[in-house]
Amino acid sequence: MFTFTVNSPSSTPAFDVLDVDQLRADTRGCSEVIHLNNAGSALPPAIVVDTMVGFLRQEEMQGGYEAHAKAQGRLNNVYTSIATLLATEPTHIALTESATSSWDRAFAAIAFTEPFTSKSRILVSSSEYASNVLPIMQIVKRTGATLEFIADSPEGVTDLDSLEKLLDESVALVAINHCPSQNGLINDVAGIGEIIRSKNPNTWYLVDACQSVGQLSVDAPAIGADFLSVTGRKFMRGPRGTGFLYCSSRTLAELEPFPLDLHGGHWDSALHYSVRHGARRFESWEKSYAALLGLGAAVDYSLALGMSAIELRITELAAYARDQLATIAGVRILDRGESLSGIVTFLHETTPAAQIVERLRAAGINVSLGTPDYSQVDYLGHGVEALIRVSPHVYNTTTEIDTLVETVRELTA
């Protein structure tokens, strides 16, 4: 008979100072690899996998609907935990399958409720992710709306002055990523939100927070965005196939998701329907409830450690990685901005990025290869054809980073 740890938010950190030995003991994958690809998909703590497997056993023995019904209280706690993480209320949280699914549902609701026209302008950051830009390009192609990329500041982040000059009543949407996947910067999303609300409060504001939530302390209402899209698998350390969406009070009052299913809406009579109250209107009925319980366990794990402690450790490890990689002849660090995230990017002037990544993986060191497919304007605008991305988490050590650095040094010598 399986027992389960109930998902519930914790307001008291488990450690005054993070116990790295305990973190590594909690992370079984640390015994197998040096995992520095947490911006791709992090190693989960054991409680995440154990929670998922335990629920799957319940489904196996009792039936999927029946196990779901018995776990409803625990599933409700997942909303509470995520709301605590983002400093909001559970009614503002929707559970989805990924950050892209969250972003798409937000964008579709805007396009359905207030359709874009040939007079509509859409502003995005120059470092925006391809999966966010492609739907916008589809809308532009079919409606004649205009897509414009906001200029970067001299420091390399989305420039607030440029945004303010571009904003007028024709701007229907501003889409910004909080932490891009490929350059280490942290955009001032709260500053952007303040400009939008003061200059044109009718403009919708959509923030991709898939790389920030889990490594940074994020206060969703303080950002002032209408939506924040988040994934479970990156710095949040949850399972793949999970994500969540923060929805502001304005979105819940003014927007209608499209398409609805019987979870987000109700078929009232033959020709009439109603929309569910709260952010769950953006959800679909069918999900992996095992994965969502695993996501809740991951969020609770982070809450117990304390987001400020997590942010500090990731920031310190990333800074250490940048400093050490910069000692290698021919290495160029690509990160930019006054404040840097836990994403470290670099290239070598003579050794191809793909070759470095392949050799590191062969040595049991997980990193990621970045190419312009992911963010055309950012890569090509900075003359980057490919890069290596290193993204540490709390369970990584400086010794592991030293091993990475020495391996890169040897193969590029």
Q: What is the pLDDT of residue 94?
A: 98
Predicted pLDDT of residue 15: 39
Which tokens is 103 given? 């972003």
What phi and psi, each to the nearest 5 degrees, are found at residue 36? -120, 40
CA distance 74 to 80: 10
Cα separation, 228 vs 312, whole angstroms: 23
Closest residue by Cα to residue 244 from 183, 287, 191, 192: 287
- Best CA proximity match to 184, nearest among 220, 139, 216: 216
Place of tokens 């209107």: 281
Structural domains of the chain sorted by starting position, each given as residue range(s) with its CATH number in brackets: 72-302 (3.40.640.10), 307-412 (3.90.1150.10)
Ramachandran sector of residue 264 (left: φ over 0; alpha: ψ -120 to 50; beta: rest): alpha
Cβ proximity of 83 and 107 under 8 Å: no
Please list the residues that pair with 158 across neighbouring strands. Answer: 152
The CA distances from residue 174 to 111, 153, 158, 225, in Å, are: 13, 17, 12, 10
Write out the two tokens for 311: 């942010």
| pLDDT attached to residue 17 | 76
Q: What are the 10-residue block averages of pLDDT along the chain, 413 residues in total?
A: 34 60 98 98 98 98 98 98 98 98 98 98 97 98 98 96 97 98 96 97 98 98 98 98 98 97 96 97 96 98 97 97 98 96 98 98 98 95 96 98 98 95
CB under 8 Å to 402, separation ≥6 — which residues?
Answer: 324
